[in-house]
Amino acid sequence: MHGKHHVLNRAFPLHTARSVTDMEAALQLVRNVVPPLAAWKHKGQAGRIGVVGGCPEYTGAPYFAAISALKVGADLSHVFTTQDAAPVIKSYSPELIVHPVLDSPSAVQDVEKWLPRLHALVVGPGLGRDDVLLENVKGILEASRTRGIPIVIDADGLWLVAQQPALIQGYQKVVLTPNHVEFSRLAEAVLGDPLDGRDRYRSVQRLSQALGNVTVVQKGEQDVISDGGQALTCSREGSGRRCGGQGDLLSGSLGVLAHWALLAGPEKTNGSSPLLVAAFGACALTRQCARQAFQKHGRATTTTDMIRELGPAFSRLFETSAGADGGGVAPTGELHL
C-alpha cells in the first residue's frame, strides 16, 4: 500500500491498542453487516430511525441527518423537533415523518411512545442550546438508554453530554461523533485536560475509556475512531470543501449502520465491535460522497450535492468488491483506499 489514503497503522502506537484493522479489511466488515434487499422483506425491517434535533435557527441539520438515514437504506425516518421547526422540515421533504413535540411539556412521553418502534436514534443535529430543549433531550436519552436503543450523539447533543457525562457513561450502544471543537469540549469536561493535538489516537482512546468504552469518532482531516480498545482511522479521500452539514450526513448515515451492525453482531464483524465498524463505514461513506460531489460541482459543492451521491457512493464502497477508482480491491489486488 502506498499514498496518503492507506490506513495509518504505523502512526498508531501499537502498545496502546489491542489491534488495529486495516481500512480495506474494515470496509469488508461493513459489507458483512449490510442487509440484503429481498422480496420477502417488509417495510421497516431495514430500519426505522429517529432524529432528535432541529430548532427555529437550525432546520437544515436534522433534515440532512434524517434524509441521509433514508438514502443509506432505512425504511422510515422520523424527526422529533420543535413546533416551529417542524413545518419547515416537512416542507423540505415529503419522505420524512416529522413530530412537532420537542418543546412541548410532554416531549419525553411524546417521543417515548415511538421508541418501541425505533431501531436507532440520532440526537443533536441542529438542536441548539435552549435549556428547556436540553432538559427534554435528557429525558429522551434516559428513556432510550433504558430500552437499549442504539444512540448516535452529535452536535448540541454533545454539548449536553459535556455538561452531564453520566447520561451516557458506560452505555455500550452509544456513539459520539464530535468535530474538533466538540471533542475539545468533551475532553476538557471528562478528562479535565485540554486536547493533546499531538496524539489524537491516544486522546480519542482516553476519552472513550473515561466514558466507559463508548465509541468515539473524532472527525477531522483524518477521522479517528475508538471504542477504548481498538482504534481505526479513516483517511479516505474526501474533498477540500468544508461546507456545513457534512457532519449531519455522517451522523444520519451512522444511525442506520449502527442498527445494522448491532443486528448482525460481532460474528459478522470478525470480533470487532459492531459500532466501531459502523462508525468506520459512515466516515468512509461521507468522504466518498464528498469526493464524488466535488468531482461534479467543485467549489460550489454543498451538502445537498453530497446527499445525491449517497446511493452511488454506497454501492461503490459496500456493494462491489472492486471499485474502479473509488475504493475496494482493484484487479491487481492493490488497495485503493
Ligand X SMILES: Nc1ncnc2c1ncn2[C@@H]1O[C@H](COP(=O)(O)OP(=O)(O)OP(=O)(O)O)[C@@H](O)[C@H]1O
**Count helices and strands in the chain by DSSP H and E runs:** 12, 9
Cα–Cα distance for residue pair 314/31, rounded to 1 Å = 10
Q: How far is CA 212 from CA 18, 45, 228, 262, in A?
A: 16, 31, 8, 18
Q: Considering only residues 103, 223, 248, 309, which one is a binding residue for ligand NPW as defined by CB under 6 A? A: 248
Which parts of 225-244 interact with Mg ion (CB under 5 A)? none
Phi and psi of 285, rounded to 5°? -65, -45
310 C-beta neighbours (distance < 10 Å), count = 25
- Residue type, position 188, single letter: E
Q: Return the residue of 283, 306, 317, 335 that touches ligand X, per CB under 6 A.
A: 283
> Known binder of ligand: residue 148?
no
**Selected binder of Mg ion within 76, 155, 285, 310 (CB under 5 A):** 155
Q: Which listed option, ligand X, ligand NPW, Mg ion, none, makes contact with residue 58 (CB within 5 to 8 Å by class)?
A: ligand NPW
Q: Give which of ligand X, ligand NPW, Mg ion, none residue 103 binds (C-beta under 5 to 8 Å, depending on kind).
A: none
How far apart (Å, rounded) are the C-alpha atoms in residues 184 and 96?
33
Q: CB of 33 within 8 A of CB of 264?
A: yes
At residue 317, what are phi and psi to the nearest 5 degrees? Answer: -80, -40
Here's the x/- map for ligand NPW, 228-247, by CB under 6 A: it reads as: ----------------xx-x
Residue 51 site contact among Mg ion, ligand NPW, ligand X, none (CB < 5 to 8 Å, cut-off depends on kind): none
Which is nearer to ligand X, 230 or 246 (by Cβ)? Answer: 246
CA angle 93-97-101, nearest 5°? 120
The reply on whether position 238 binds ligand X by CB under 6 A is yes
Q: Which does 127 bind (CB under 5 to 8 A by kind): Mg ion, ligand X, ligand NPW, none?
A: ligand NPW
Site residues for ligand NPW, window 58-77 (CB under 6 A)?
Answer: 58-61
Measure CA of the first residue to CA of the last residue in the chain; give whole Å.
9
Q: CB of residue 333 vs ligand X: minimum separation in angstroms?
A: 27
Give the DSSP per-residue string, 79-94.
EEE-TTHHHHHHHH-T
Residue 168 interacting with Mg ion (CB under 5 A): no
Q: Give the shortest CB-4-to-ligand X separation in angstroms.
A: 11
Q: Is 333 annotated as a binding residue?
A: no
The only residue of 47, 73, 100, 126 in contact with ligand NPW, by rule CB under 6 A: 126
Choose among Mg ion, ligand X, ligand NPW, none what residue 156 binds, the Cβ cut-off being 5 to 8 Å by kind. ligand NPW
| Nine-digit cell string for 138 | 435528557
Contacts to ligand NPW from residues 174-193, by CB under 6 A? 179-181
Burial label, 320 (beta-carbon count in 10 A; 0-12, 13-18, 19+): middle
Confirm or deny that 202 is annotated as ligand binding.
no
Rounded-to-integer distance, Cα 76 and Cα 69, Å = 8
Does the annotation flag 95 for ligand binding?
no
By the rule CB under 5 A, 245 interacts with Mg ion = no
Which one of 54-62, 230-238, 269-277, 316-324 is the stretch in contact with ligand NPW (CB under 6 A)? 54-62
| Among the listed residues 101, 90, 95, the one whose alpha carbon sits nearest the alpha carbon of residue 69 | 95
Annotated binding-site residue numbers:
126, 179-185, 219-223, 238-248
- Residues engaged in binding ligand NPW (CB under 6 A): 58-61, 125-128, 155-156, 179-181, 244-245, 247-248
